[in-house]
Amino acid sequence: MIDLHCHILPGVDDGAQSLSDSLNMARKAVEQGIHTIVATPHHLNNSYENPKRQILDRVEELNQLLQKENIDVMILPGQEIRVHGEMIEGYTIGEILTVNHTPYVLVEFPSNHVPRYTEKLFYDLQMNGLIPVIVHPERNREIIERSELLYQLVKKGALTQITASSVCGDFGKKIKNFTLQLIEANLTHFIASDAHNLTNRTFKMREAFGVLQQKYGNELVYYFEENAHLVVEGRAVYKEDPEQIKRKKLFYLF
């Protein structure tokens, strides 16, 4: 299993705070059946910078330590980028890091809205050979209230990644229900942990796949697992035509 979104690098953001934390998270990942983790520290969220070169160095250091400790997990480089209008410039000058040097780039929205320039920005990103992947859309207030915003972005080429803990209901029943609606409407393409620690923001990947297998069958589990492999290899992912979520089915969070 591949985890595309994890805050496992030590001391760089609100994830692992020490090498010990990172090692313990890696051990937990092995228990979950995860063999590859994309390290995705925050970039331009709050005071976190984490430019590309720094992440590459930290990933190399952590991989060396994992080998020394005989923990069978490979760390790949990535970044969780807070959406901003200068993303292409940041990529051009080498501050922005895609998922394992592929065209896929993880983009985070503010928790309560989708910036109005997003559609134009995503178009420009795609014209420059990048594929935006919206992380945890199921926890965005405006998307919950106006799911057609996400539908339009996906219809025009964006991809999305839901969080394992959302599938499990850790963020509440309403977010779980909305997450399942995104799956049923073909509005999401990946599932990842977004793990920050081993207490309140842990992996939950095995548990989430159990929920999906029970509710939708093995085909959907394969879909998410295979798409994760395709992303880290820089290949085209599987996707179905997106559908609009019927408004009468929406569960409002606020």
Residue 254 lies in a domain: no
Residue 46 lies inside a defined structural domain of this protein: yes
**24 falls within a domain:** yes
Token pair of 236, please?
Answer: 């085209």
15, amino acid identity: G
Specify the pLDDT at position 246.
82
pLDDT computed for residue 62 by the predictor: 98
Domain at 211, CATH number: 3.20.20.140
Q: Where are the alpha helices (DSSP H) in the chain?
A: 19-32, 52-68, 87-92, 118-127, 141-145, 148-155, 164-168, 173-184, 205-216, 218-232
Asked if 205 and 193 count as a contact pair (C-beta separation under 8 A), the reply is: yes
pLDDT of residue 148: 97
The pTM (predicted TM-score) of the whole model is 0.95
Pair 56, 226: CB distance under 8 Å: no
* Domain presence at residue 28: yes
Q: What residues contact 67, with CB distance under 8 A and at least 6 apart?
A: none
pLDDT in tens, 162-194: 999 999 999 999 999 999 999 999 999 999 999
Question: What is the longest distance spanned by two Cα atoms in the chain?
Answer: 54
Residue 61 within any structural domain of the chain: yes
Provide the pairing of β-strand 36-39 with 2-6: parallel
Is residue 12 included in any domain, yes or no? yes
Decide if 58 contacts 64 (C-beta within 8 A): no
Give pLDDT < 70 ranges for the chain.
247-254
The pLDDT, as a whole number, for residue 248 is: 53
Question: What is the extent of the structural domain holding 115?
Answer: 2-249
In a domain, 180, yes or no: yes
Q: Is the residue at 223 inside a domain?
A: yes
User: Tell me, what amino acid is at 219?
Assistant: E
Res 45: pLDDT: 86
What is the tally of structural domains in the chain? 1
Say how far apart CA 204 and CA 185 lie, in whole Å: 23
What is the predicted pLDDT for the residue at 66? 98
Give CA–CA dist 79/192, Å, rounded. 14
